[in-house]
Amino acid sequence: MEKYRSSLGVTITGRLTEEATSWAGAALLVELYRKAGVEAAIERTLPKKKSSKGLRQEQMVESFVLLSALGGDCIEDMERLRQDKGLESMLGYRPSAPETARQWLDKFHDEGIDEGTTTAKSLHSSTISKVSRA
């Protein structure tokens, strides 16, 4: 095993490795996300996973928060986060693959929302026409 003695008199055994990320603000965002209690709120709100495989719900949400904050334009940009070893080291997990992220989002799709939006638009149009006639 390799030993190194620094100028401060500290002996380091083994090799040190470090990772860096080009996204300087990511560390602050991750710290804020974790200390603000967002993880606990997600755990209370989202349904429990059926399998222990893969990322936890809180980690998936954190990945999407980072994707948005770091300028991701589409779900395929999740691959950029996934390839960043510094980000992976900071997070303690590797962000999901784009297809996995898409499948995770699909679980929350509700056909009724689309119908509700149509109903809301119809109601809005009806209200506007009544107001303009008055």
Q: Report if pTM > 0.85.
A: no
- Rounded CA separation 119/125 (Å): 10
- Rounded CA separation 78/96 (Å): 7
Instruction: Give the pLDDT of the chain (134 residues) as one tens digit per residue.
Output: 455 555 566 665 665 567 788 888 899 999 999 999 888 899 888 888 888 889 999 999 999 999 999 999 999 999 999 999 999 988 999 999 999 999 999 988 776 655 555 555 554 554 455 445 54
Residue 113 Cα distances to 35, 92, 120, angstroms: 32, 35, 10
- Give the total number of structural domains in the chain: 1
Asked if the structure places residue 2 within a domain, the reply is no
Asked if the structure places residue 119 within a domain, the reply is no
Asked if the structure places residue 126 within a domain, the reply is no
Asked if the structure places residue 127 within a domain, the reply is no
- Rounded CA separation 105/19 (Å): 30
Asked if the structure places residue 75 within a domain, the reply is yes
Q: Which residues pair with 3 in a beta bridge?
A: 13
**Domain of 46, in residue numbers:** 17-112
